[in-house]
Structure 1
Amino acid sequence: MKKFGAGTWIWGTAVVLSLAFSAWYNNWRGPLTATEIDTYMEQLQARPDNNPAALKDLRAFLEADDGREFIMLNVIKLHADPQPHPQTGEPTDASKLLTTYSDAFMGRLFFSAGHPMFLSDRVGPYLDTFGVTERPDWTWTSMVRYRSRRDLADAATFEGFPGAHLFKTAAIEQTFNFPTQTRVQFFMSPALLVPFLLLFAASLAHLVVTLRATRA
């Protein structure tokens, strides 16, 4: 293989992979349309276990869609004692029940470029906390990245979601969550990190090929 041909192949592959990753990881479809929102809400309202107040909040969130990614903050208190398994009724550790839910939900979310940003266990008491009337013994907190609000709606209306969600409600004693958007971060987003690593790898590969050709 000629040096020019090798370089073209290396850089071409890196560029194609970077573009493919960007096409998957970023939202190129823009904000939700009114028709899309109505369709999602009709599906959720048709479920027998729907919560009107929660659906009202969800609609407001979807209608305010700006097309950007968001990060869902979750704070969770697991049941300390084993809970009945949603399918068998057998007492099961709460963490195992939540893992069953997470495997189903996060597995699907990953295909829409959603993923955990971090998962942290609580390791100490409340510090500098005030203005709250209740202090549950929270177990851990996590932040999950969603590519878009459309992906959240897709996950919520997925036909397998109600069955998986039973494991979440069985495992968790108390929880709260809300969506956030990043103002400042001190680490590189995967949207930039992955293309950077691909191009960096291409530069190293091209250097190796060039050095070998020079010594030949």
Structure 2
Amino acid sequence: MPTLASNYCLLIVLVLIYGAFLFWYGGRGEPMTEDEVTQRLAAISASTGGKSQAVDQVPGEIIAELKQLAASDDGNEFFMVNLIKYRQKALYPPGSDYDDSALAADSRYNRALVPYLLKFGGVPVFVGSPQGRFIDKSGDMEWDRVAVVRYRSRRDLFKMAHEIAPLGVAIHKWASIERTQVFPVAPILSLFTVRALVATILAVIGAVIHFLFFRSL
């Protein structure tokens, strides 16, 4: 019957699309070996020429942070929590042609970052602005932005960093940020998952296509 054949074709297409998504999204793998970490860090350092892209940052500081991040690698997906305090004015190197807006500098960085983030299976999960304080024993840390980014693995983050490093776009990030705290989080419980969301969207698309085109066949 035409209706049955059409429905099967639609189902196969949707399953293939979802399978391709799962392949891209990933999230389960083997951790990097010590040799791999060393090689990837050396490649990232070589891509930047061993220089910092921030006026007030010590050369090699980011490499040290990446090495620390690799120490907890389990090969699986993780979420990076970013707490950000923007500068009053963007701090670019002398002679820069950019304006002094910290938010504009951050936007330049994000526009350059997102395509590479998606290429390596990463997605921004949440971005928000703090609304006052509640329990805050430190008492001296105020943040302008909170962002959570999902990474497919630490290996993919390293690959992304290697490709981005030669572009010099990190200059915009550090020009905009006065201080930041960034730390990885392993998911334990979440009522929101991208896998379930994509499956739901594809199911809805399939139902709509069936209703509009195949129901009367």
- TM-score bin, normalised by smaller chain: 0.7 to 0.9
Q: Sequence identity of aligned pairs in percent?
A: 25
CA gap of 1:172–1:161, structure 2 versus 1, over 3 A, is farther
Asked whether 1:78 is paired with 2:86, we answer: yes
For structure 2, which runs of at least 5 residues remain unmatched after alignment?
A: 53-58
- The one-letter code sitting in structure 1 at the alignment partner of 2:197 is L
Give 1:156's match in structure 2, choosing from 157, 161, 164: 161
**TM-score when scaled to structure 1?**
0.83
Deviations 1:119-171 (A, max 9, x none): 111222x32211x2x61332111111101111110122225456111111111
Question: Are the counterparts in 1 of residues 51 and 60 from structure 2 also a CA contact under 8 Å?
Answer: no
Instruction: For 1:77 and 1:57, locate their aligned partners in 2 and report how far apart those are by CA, in whole Å.
Output: 19
State the match for 2:135 in structure 1.
128
Equivalent runs, 1:20-169 vs 2, <5 Å: 20-27=20-27, 29-46=29-46, 47-49=49-51, 51-52=59-60, 54-84=62-92, 88-124=96-132, 126-130=133-137, 132=138, 135-160=140-165, 163-169=168-174
Within 1, Cα distance between the matches of 2:108 and 2:93?
A: 11
Which letter does structure 2 place at the counterpart of 1:44? I
Maintained 8 Å contact 2:125/2:149: yes
8 Å Cα contact 2:84-2:143 kept in structure 1 = yes
Q: Which runs of 5+ in 1 are unaligned?
A: none
Q: C-alpha distance in 2, partners of 1:79/1:26?
A: 36
Partner of 2:55: none
TM-score norm. by structure 2 comes to: 0.83
CA distance in 1, matches of 2:94, 2:117: 22
Q: Distance in 2 between matches of 1:170 and 1:86?
A: 12
Match of 2:183 in 1: 178
Q: Which residue of 2 aligns with 1:205?
A: 209
Kindly name which structure, 1 or 2, has the bigger radius of gyration based on alpha carbons. 1
